[in-house]
Structure 1
Amino acid sequence: MSKLPTLREDDGMATVEYAIGILAAAALGGVLYLIVNSEAVVAGLTALIERALSVKF
């Protein structure tokens, strides 16, 4: 006679935790993408690069 598997209260929690972590990382990535593509950041980076390229040696 084989034993039936016992279910614990936390079975499947690791999978849920990974899913929540992935969602949080994706949300953070989306926010950072919006910030980097904002007009102010793009203008600042463009000005910085133009200034760096216009330096005379």
Structure 2
Amino acid sequence: MRNHITAIAGRARARVERARDRIAGVAEEPGRSAETGMATAEYAIATVAAAGFAGLLVVILRSSDVRELLLGIIRGALSV
């Protein structure tokens, strides 16, 4: 049983070392860093957040109370 656990730990250690080597290889390529692509991920997160906020605004603006409030503001502005 102990040999089995040792073998599993050895394979896991080897996977970690291979992953570390791949990451280090990317960082060593000219013009690339370990953070390459981070700006794209940040834009994607901001886009999803903006879409969620737009959906929330649509729900709020469709309510009758908000609609009446906005129509009252517009009527008041146009009647002056």
TM-score, normalised with respect to structure 2: 0.47
Q: Which has the higher helix share?
A: 2
Bigger radius of gyration: 2
What pairs with 1:1-57 in structure 2 (closer than 5 Å)? Answer: 7-8=26-27, 9-46=34-71, 48=72, 49=75, 52=76
Percent of residue pairs bearing the same amino acid type = 38
CA RMSD of aligned residues (A): 2.2
Mind listing any 5+ residue stretches in structure 2 that lack a counterpart? Answer: 1-24, 28-33
Which consecutive segments of 4 or more residues in structure 1 shift more than 2 A?
A: 43-46
Q: What's the TM-score once normalised by structure 1's chain length? A: 0.62
Length, aligned pairs only:
47
